Amino acid sequence: MASDKDDVKGPEEPEEAPQDSSIDNDDDPSLEDEGMPVATEDELAEAEDKLAEVTIVGKVGDESNEAFGNAGSDETKADSTDVEDSDESEESDDDEEPDEEEGNMSLLDHLGELRIRLTRSFIAIAVGMIACYGFADKMFNILMEPMIKVFQDRMADKPTLPLGFYDDLRTALSQVLAEKGFQHSEQVDIFVNALQQSLMQVAQEGHFQYTYPAEAFFSHIKISIVAGIFLVSPYVFAQIWGFIAPGLYANERKWMIPMAVISAAFFCAGAGFGYFVVFPFGFEFFASFSTEGIQFTPKLNEYLSFCLKLLFAFGFVFELPLFIFFLARMGLVSSTGLRAKRKYAILIGFVMAAILTPPDPFTQCLMAGPLIILYELGIWVAYFFGKKEKRHLKKQEEEEAARQAELDAAAEEYSDKEGEADAAEPEDEAEKAEPEETTGKA
């Protein structure tokens, strides 16, 4: 019997080698020891079939992954081995999720990021304040100019002395005093000029005054700080947008610098609107209440605080279109919803104007009017850039349909290849059966 077994084993070795190159007979310990069990042909065929299925699945997964570029399918991502291509496609997708490292920040991480951003902003403001302090006198005069112009206009409307009065007075005094032997006739001009300036202050019905010794100095410091804020406002807004950036998508982070510049431009535009439009009308309205018994004499510190408060208020109010743009891009508001809530927006606008401005209806209307106009501008901004607009939703549906079609095509291709593999299995089994018959005959 041993001789028959050896005769059968002899021809089996050269016949099995060409069938499967992946199985090496020299490495099979069962062929080295006669006492060990020998693997049957059925077991070897079953192992080869499983290996072929795994190879086909891996190849089909790679081909389908390259075909539609990791569009978001979880099944395809599981079969894909190209991680770098998947990351690039996620960055270019509008519906992708934020980066894992930036999106999973803890509360302490957010607080640390906020501390860094605030520190940078305060340092920038300090640098801007130092740069603007050398021009504090000029900026102080510019800030006082609207009220001084109101004083001059009111003096021109109610002149107390005819034109040329001081020139005639100077000439008459010089002649009379010269005839009387007055020895200081050259000082007459100084006297007449001082008299003219004093009477002009009376005619202006008011002037600036300060009672605290260091009040004028701190006023210059305050003006320098405010000017420094406006000077470095692009950098400050860049820090604000940088703090918000971890919650944005990758394709939205590229708008950070343009949005910072636009935010600073709107902020400065609001302050300019307050200075050139609101201040002249507002101060004229306030000064009109002065009478012969009530003299308008504004205090320096209070006037400066009032002006700076209005400048900042109008600057922040002009940020409303950008705020609506941000909410529209996040999909929180739409132009249709903003139009439906217009009446509530008008009411809120007047309430905000009453809070940010002095308690008078005139200044309140001067702020509420631009606020309502900016709200209407924000509606159009939401219409063109909002994610919940009909045309954008339609575009998203088309993109999703195209993506689903690609997934279906990839799945169909995979099923076709799987069918071809299943059809090839009987042929392989027939080919394997022929050597077995030959071996049996031998």
Question: Does 137 fall in a domain?
Answer: yes
Higher pLDDT, 319 or 46: 319
Higher pLDDT, 45 or 383: 383
What pLDDT digit, counting tens, does each position of 349-384 carry? 888 888 887 767 777 888 888 899 999 999 998 888
Which residue has tokens 């100084």?
190
Question: Does 349 fall in a domain?
Answer: no
Report how many domains make up the chain.
1
pLDDT score for 237: 92
Question: Does 118 fall in a domain?
Answer: yes
Q: State the pLDDT confidence band at 225, using cuts at 50, 70 and 90.
A: very high
Distance of CA 3 to the CA centre of its chain: 87
Which residue has tokens 């200081």?
184
Which residue has tokens 């007075």?
169
pLDDT score for 250: 78
pLDDT score for 83: 39
Instruction: Report percent pLDDT > 70 for the chain.
Output: 67
Higher pLDDT, 423 or 413: 413
pLDDT score for 68: 41
Segments forming the whole domain that contains residue 248: 103-318
Q: What is the mean pLDDT of residues 30-42?
A: 54
Question: Does 269 fall in a domain?
Answer: yes
SS3 438: helix
Which residue has tokens 């009376």?
202
For residue 304, pLDDT over 80 is answered with: yes
For residue 33, pLDDT over 50 is answered with: no
For residue 121, pLDDT over 90 is answered with: yes
CB within 8 Å of 90: residues ≥ 6 apart: 70, 96, 97, 250
Nearest to 378 by CA among 425, 334, 325: 325
Q: Among 71-75, 153-157, 213-217, 322-326, name the one with the lowest average pLDDT.
A: 71-75
pLDDT score for 102: 47
Question: Does 161 fall in a domain?
Answer: yes
CB within 8 Å of 227: residues ≥ 6 apart: 128, 129, 132, 135, 136, 139
Instruction: Report percent pLDDT > 90 for the chain.
Output: 20
Supply the angle between the helices 320-329 and 256-273 in degrees, to the nearest 10: 150
Question: Does 234 fall in a domain?
Answer: yes
For residue 199, pLDDT over 70 is answered with: no
Which residue has tokens 């027939």?
430
Question: Does 186 fall in a domain?
Answer: yes
Question: Does 397 fall in a domain?
Answer: no
Q: State the pLDDT confidence band at 97, using cuts at 50, 70 and 90.
A: very low
What pLDDT digit, counting tens, does each position of 394-414 carry? 676 777 777 887 887 888 787
Tally of helices (H runs) and strands (E runs) in the chain: 20, 0
pTM: 0.58
For residue 21, pLDDT over 80 is answered with: no
What pLDDT digit, counting tens, does each position of 269-290 carry? 999 999 998 898 888 888 888 7
